[in-house]
Structure 1
Amino acid sequence: MARFVIVPQWQGSGSDRAMRLATGAQRIAEDLPRAATEVVDVPLEAGSALETGVVRASSVLRVREALAATLGDSPVPVVTIGGDCGVELAAVEHAAIQHPGLAIVWFDAHADLNVPEESPSGAFHGMVLRSILGDGPRAFASRAVVPATRTVLAGTRSMDPGEEAFAAASGITVLPGDDASSDAVLSALRSTGATSVYVHVDLDVLDPSAVTAVNHPEPFGLSVPALLDTVRAIRAEFDLAGAGITEFAPDDSPTADAVAIGDDLTTILRLIGALRP
C-alpha cells in the first residue's frame, strides 16, 4: 500500500483536548513519504450542529466531502490518518464502493455505535460506525452501507447501553478485550464470507500502558504485539480494501513527555508497516 491521506480533523471529538488530534495527524505525516501522502484541509472553525444533534456537524460534513473528493474513484487502497474517528465515514464509503461485499474489523476501545438521541456527548466520533452501518444521524447517511453482519468489533470494552442493545440486535460480532485474539478475529471475518477487509484502528484499542497519547484511554486493552500479529494475519488472508488509524492526540506543550510521544509514534509506524503489502 502506497497512498496515505492525512485528515487532521478534531471537530468530531468529544474531548476537551480535541485539538491535539490535529497535532497527532500532523506528527504522523512527518514520518510518511511525501510523494505518497496527501493532506485534506480541515476548517479552522468548530462549526455548528445544524439541528442534527451532532456537535460541530457543519465542519465534520465539510471534511467528509473534502476527503471523498481527495479519494475520488481510485481503486488503490488508502491508509487514512486521523484526526478523530469521524474521518472513517468517507474512507469506508470509498472502500465499500471499490470493494462491494467487504467486511470491517473495527479495533476500538469504544463501539462508536451511538445515535444523537442516546449519545452522552453528541460527538460524531462516537456515532461513525452506526452511520457506516446505515443507521446513524440522517445528515451523515452512508453512501455505501456495510451490513452489521459483516462487521467485527475487536478489543471493544466500553459501550453505552444503547450501543450494547444495537450490537446485540444487529448481528455485529463483538470481541471484547482479550477475546480479540488473532484466531478469533480471523474466524469472525471468515464467517462474513468477505474476501476483502477494511481495517480501522483507534489507538485507544491498545492498553494505556502501550500507548499514552489518546484522549479516551480504557484499561485492559490489547498489547502492541497482539495487535500487530492480528493485522498481519488479516493481511495474509484477505485483500485489504483500506485502513484507518485515528485518535493520536499528543501533547505539544513544552512539558510534554517527548520520549513517550516518540514511543507512540514508533508503534504507529510499526502498525503502518504491518498494513503494507
Structure 2
Amino acid sequence: MERKKISIIGVPMDLGQARRGVDMGPSAIRYAGVVERLENLQYEIDDLGDIQIGRPEKVSDIPVDNLRNLKAVAEASEKLASTVHETIESERFPLVLGGDHSIAIGTLAGVAKHYKNLGVIWYDAHGDLNTADTSPSGNIHGMPLAVSLGLGHPTLTKIGGFDPKIKPENIVIIGARSLDDGEKELIREKGIKVYTMHEIDRMGMTAVMEETIKYLSERTDGVHLSLDLDGLDPHDAPGVGTPVIGGISYRESHLAMEMLEESKLITSAEFVEVNPILDDKNKTASVAVALMGSLFGEKLK
C-alpha cells in the first residue's frame, strides 16, 4: 500500500460505555492539528469527516442482555467497516479517530477483508476481551478484541458478514495492567501474547517492540495498530474515560511508534478514547497527534 496517501475517518462514538464526552474525540484530535501534522510529513490527506452515529431510541443505564446500546453500536460498526474497506480498496491508509474503543469492531471488520493473516497490536491498559457473559459492566468498549476473535453476540461478531476477523496467535497486547478474570482466562486459553507493564518495566520498551515486530512479521500479511490513549499513564494522557495509573510513558510511546514506522509493518491504525471533557487543555488529543507524527515518520533529526 502507498503510505503517502492517508484517509482520516472520524467516529464520534460514545455508546460503547456509559460516560459522555468521548464522542468529541475526533473533533479534539482534528483541533490538535492532525491534518497539518501529517501534511508536513508530505502525506496526501483526505479527511472523510465523521461516520454518522445513530442514537438509541431509549437510553437506559441498564444494558439489555449485558450489552449496552447493542443495536446502535452494531449499526455504526457496519458503516465504519464499509468506509474502511472502501478506503483500502482505493489504496489509501485508513487512520480512524475515536470515539470509544468499541469502534475497533468496525475498523477490524473493514480491514480484515483485505488480509488472510491480519496482525493486531492492541496498545491499551485493558484487554478488551470481555463478552456479555464475562463483562462486569455491559460496556461494549470492553469487548472489541473478543468480538473480532468471533466471541460474543452474533450481531457484533458478524459485522461485515464474516467471522472471525483475526486469529489469537496474531495479536499482541501492549501495556495491559487492568484485566478482568474472564479476560485472563481467555488469554491463557487462546495463548494470546501480552506484554503487561511488568514486562515493559522489566525488559524495556525497545525489547518489547523488537519482539513484537519480529513475532508479527513472521506470521502476518498486514498489521493494524489499535491505540487506546489509556495505554499511556494518566499523567501524560488524562483525558480518557477509564484511566489506570502506572502506564506507559510519553517517551516510551514515541519510541514504540518510531520503531513501528521503521518496521513498515503497520497497514492501518486507530487512536481511540480521547475524551476532551475529562482532559486538561486538549492535552490528550495533542499527545495522540504527536504519536501519530512518530508513527508516520516524524524524526527529531
1:73-107 superposed Cα distances (whole Å, 9 cap, x missing partner): 33222111111001011111222222321211101
Q: 1:93 to 1:235 in 2, by over 3 A?
A: farther
In 2, Cα distance between the equivalents of 1:68 and 1:215?
A: 24
CA contact (8 A) 2:132 2:138 kept: yes
Q: CA RMSD in A?
A: 2.2
Amino acid at match of 1:124: I
- Of 45, 48, 57, the residue aligned with 2:56 is 45
Provide the secondary structure at the position in 1 that maps to 2:227.
strand
Amino acid at match of 2:87: S
- Residue 164 of structure 1 and its aligned partner are, at CA, apart by 0.2
TM-score normalised to the size of structure 1? 0.89
CA contact (8 A) 1:47 1:59 kept: no
Q: 1:110 to 1:50 in 2, by over 3 A?
A: closer
In 1, Cα distance between the equivalents of 2:125 and 2:134?
A: 18
When the two structures are aligned, how many residues end up with a matched partner? 268
CA contact (8 A) 1:85 1:247 kept: yes
Question: Is residue 2:152 matched to residue 1:136?
Answer: yes
The percentage of counterpart residues that share the same residue type is: 23
1:104-163 superposed Cα distances (whole Å, 9 cap, x missing partner): 110110110001011111111111100111222222115352111110110000011110
Instruction: Find the counterpart in structure 1 of residue 231 from structure 2.
Output: 205
CA contact (8 A) 1:77 1:95 kept: no
CA contact (8 A) 1:158 1:218 kept: yes
1:167-225 superposed Cα distances (whole Å, 9 cap, x missing partner): 01101111001524232233134224225211111100001111111111101100011
- Of 121, 126, 131, the residue aligned with 1:115 is 131
CA contact (8 A) 1:11 1:46 kept: no
Amino acid at match of 2:210: L
CA contact (8 A) 2:28 2:282 kept: no
In 1, Cα distance between the equivalents of 2:193 and 2:233?
A: 21
Q: Provide structure 1 residue ranges, at least 5 long, that are not aligned to the other structure.
A: none
Provide the secondary structure at the position in 1 that maps to 2:286.
helix
TM-score normalised to the size of structure 2? 0.82
Instruction: Find the counterpart in structure 2 of residue 190 from structure 1.
Output: 214
CA contact (8 A) 1:149 1:173 kept: yes
- Of 190, 212, 232, the residue aligned with 1:170 is 190
CA contact (8 A) 1:21 1:249 kept: yes
CA contact (8 A) 1:115 1:130 kept: yes
- Residue 50 of structure 1 and its aligned partner are, at CA, apart by 9.5
Q: Provide structure 2 residue ranges, at least 5 long, that are not aligned to the other structure.
A: 37-44
Amino acid at match of 1:163: E
